[in-house]
Chain A
């Protein structure tokens, strides 16, 4: 069975372009509006949609994503409702969808049931913020949903090999030490680290954490197979809140970032 993530990266590679990956919090500002936001992001040029499962204690997230999770929980989002919402999103868009979650919500749901229900809803990948491969939970290779793994600036090379060995779909390089959130500058070590990671895997390698402007996005697109933009968009959604013009304003905000990513054609 093919996975939408693999198909998307194969197509982008053929065009020598990088993926524009957009992160939003599921259920922020409401589950209903998440459907509309997902469709808007596809129109804005997103190649992959990352949907955060809201959690009460997001310890790897900066303030923008913390507030996003808080808004979603206050609006009544739960994992079962979010999966149902994703099934509705899936009927409207064809982008690969990756869930981004802390372990506890999925631990409580139960892994086998989650795998089945998420797949049925149209989820293509899952990324856990707080589950190192050593923990063994969920380490089976029989997954139909890809396991996206994080690599950090502090990860030593021998760990990179072990992490990539447990990864599928793509590998996510965290561009800097710290929590999620917008930053003015990019870590200079990104190209070198990507080179190290690529020695150990043929999977696409994407870069995230701290990227918010079109200029930064274009810079990272020249190095990586994908660029993740999250907090800036979550913050924008927070500002727009219940604004009836949310879709258009979000489209206006996100499209230039996507265009910047797609403007980069890599050397052949």
Chain B
């Protein structure tokens, strides 16, 4: 797991949005001008102190940043391995890291004069974050969500509707995140002049993977200050779950140049690494092009996108953000996976001994740490990104897990 390459993170991606051979802009021609407009506006905003100040103020007063870095003392004792910290993104407004990006892109939408926000959502956390910022800025909001996900994350559907968003069920294909993105893209192609597509992860055409990463890097920036304050050294290992990969890149990005900080991204192992039973793109995936970018994806040899499965709607997706593909190929980040069963066990353990109900997505990262803690030296420091809280999963878990009566 020792990184072997010196990376100049400021050079990623290049002007065309490429991370090595990954990334780029693969979209219908109708969208090209909107993507160009977004790229230009984001470049302007980045150097505009007013934008930076507004974003910082909103993150602090509306979202609740900084989030705590919490020492998971009892889990550390129980596992008998390294010192384990949780980065508590689950304590943010709306319950997950997704709001960091939603606030940033909403500010950009306002700058571009777009009156309507659209979004895709899997677990519903990004949909809730988008509905929230739409309400906050007085914008119209439509969220596309697979019908399968609407059932397993019904609580989040209700939240979005209370916030004034219209949630549109997507019924084609396997009716999960991938189909929701297709439908959001179709809406965007149709309403491109008035609408901003508030894409929720480090995926899609450039500049999204870069821009969404930048909005989430606050996670790693804070973690760096916080861990130095308590441990007086950088962490030895960072662990985060990877669906599209936004919370992971948010945590990792600030540490990419620190050669001694190892990083693990944990994908959804589902019920096994066989076609249709998982969403671990670095296990069964291949290089391909889907939904705007070139990256590792689960495609058959004919180029059809394969079915996926995960207990967590937020990781149930056939492709991974292009920067993760790059970090994988250069060996900077190690990618592993956790199965549905390992996740259920980890959820119960952390709930009972730490008093925290983590989101099923984030629990993949915890499952990895629980499984491998004994292989790690006790003087090591591990930071797990607790990217979201598990309230949304309670219904689904109540059907699967035993409860004390």
Contacts and interface: CB of A to CB of B under 8 A. Distances in A.
A79 B189 contact: no
Interface in B86-117: none
A109 B288 CA distance: 11
User: Which of A56, A60, A73, A134 has most B Cβ within 10 Å?
Assistant: A56
Interface in A113-165: 129-132, 134-135, 150-156, 159, 163
User: Which of A62, A129, A154 has most B Cβ within 10 Å?
Assistant: A154
B304 interface: yes
B150 to A, nearest CB: 19
Contacts of A131: 26
A230 B140 CA distance: 33
Contact of A57 (B32, B34, B290): B290
B27 interface: yes
A105 interface: yes
Contacts of B33: 154-156, 159
A66 interface: yes
A156 B172 CA distance: 34
B25 A108 contact: no
Interface string B186-215: 100111110000000000000000000000
Nearest to A105: B303
B34 A179 contact: no
Interface string A52-94: 0001111110100010001001000011100000000000000
A103 B289 contact: yes
Interface in A147-187: 150-156, 159, 163, 174, 177-179
B30 A107 contact: no
Nearest to A163: B29
Contacts of B29: 132, 150-152, 154-155, 163, 174
A104 interface: yes
B192 A154 contact: yes
A106 interface: yes
A179 B24 contact: no
Interface in A198-233: none
B291 A57 contact: yes
Contacts, number: 112
Contact of A178 (B181, B182, B189, B286): B189
Contacts of B27: 130, 132
Nearest to A156: B33
B26 A108 contact: no
| Size range of the chain B interface in the assembly | 35 or more
A59 B304 CA distance: 13
Contacts of B355: none
B304 A73 contact: yes
Contacts of A153: 30
Given A79-B303, A106-B303, A178-B190, A70 B289 contact: no
B26 A103 contact: yes
A40 B29 CA distance: 32
Given A108-B302, A155-B33, A66 B172 contact: yes
A104 B173 CA distance: 17
A47 to B, nearest CB: 24
Given A55-B303, A78-B302, A70 B32 contact: no
Nearest to B286: A108
Interface in B160-201: 172-173, 178-179, 181-182, 185-186, 189-193
User: Which of B24, B193, B290 has most A Cβ within 10 Å?
Assistant: B290
A135 B24 contact: yes
A174 B31 CA distance: 12
Contacts of A102: 289
A104 B303 contact: yes
B2 interface: no
B336 to A, nearest CB: 26
Given A132-B25, A174-B30, A178-B190, A56 B288 contact: no
A131 B178 CA distance: 19
B378 interface: no
Contacts of A179: 186, 189-190
B303 A109 contact: yes
Given A151-B29, A155-B29, A177-B190, A130 B289 contact: yes
User: Which of B25, B33, B286, B289 has most A Cβ within 10 Å?
Assistant: B289
Contacts of B34: 154
B138 interface: no
B299 interface: yes
Contacts of B192: 154, 177
Contacts of B186: 59-60, 62, 178-179
B50 interface: no
B305 interface: yes
Given A57-B305, A135-B26, A154-B34, A108 B185 contact: no
Interface in B291-326: 291-292, 299, 301-305
B39 to A, nearest CB: 12
30 contacts: A55-B304, A56-B173, A56-B304, A57-B178, A57-B291, A62-B186, A79-B302, A105-B303, A105-B304, A107-B288, A107-B289, A108-B302, A108-B303, A109-B302, A129-B28, A130-B26, A130-B28, A130-B292, A132-B26, A132-B32, A135-B26, A151-B29, A152-B28, A152-B29, A152-B30, A154-B29, A155-B30, A156-B33, A174-B29, A177-B191
